[in-house]
Amino acid sequence: MSLSVGDVAPEFSLPDQDRQVVSLTGLRGTPVLLVFYPFAFSRICTGELCQLRDELATYTDAGVRVLALSTDPAPALKAWREQEGFDFALLSDFWPHGAVAQAYGVFNDKAGMAVRGTFLVDAEGRIAFTEVNGPGDAREQSGWKDAVAQLAA
């Protein structure tokens, strides 16, 4: 199942790196950028999320909440967040394994991981932007920024 612009974003409730549950419903009224990635500590994922960390004001200044999601367990996400200084939540889609990634159509069941899917969910809970890249293909983040700017306008 692939999601398109205008679709209702699938609901989820997942633990963050500190095991605090974050739900999409709880964020209603706030646009949310969902960044699915394969694995914490991997080279491409680290590069992408460090760029996101360094340019976080682009999103937060527009009122967008950033959430990064992977199938890693919460303790690994906590260690990675502390190591890299990420100022956004890392959500664990560990169990049931990859259920949220599956709902968003970005789960590679053979590898047991999320692929590089990016979704901007508007304040009403609808998909405003979507992009899916393969596991080895680093994302160009300019499309996300353009979508955020259009949403904020």
Please give the positions annotated as active site: 45
Q: What gap in Å lies between CA 61 and CA 115, rounded to an integer?
A: 27
Helix ranges (H only) for the chain are 43-54, 56-60, 74-84, 99-103, 142-152
Q: What gap in Å lies between CA 150 and CA 68, rounded to an integer?
A: 21
Q: Which two tokens stand for residue 90?
A: 């890392």
DSSP one-letter string for 86-121: --SEEEE-TTTTTHHHHHTT-EETTTTEE-EEEEEE
Q: Which two tokens stand for residue 137?
A: 């293909």
Q: Which two tokens stand for residue 113?
A: 């991981």
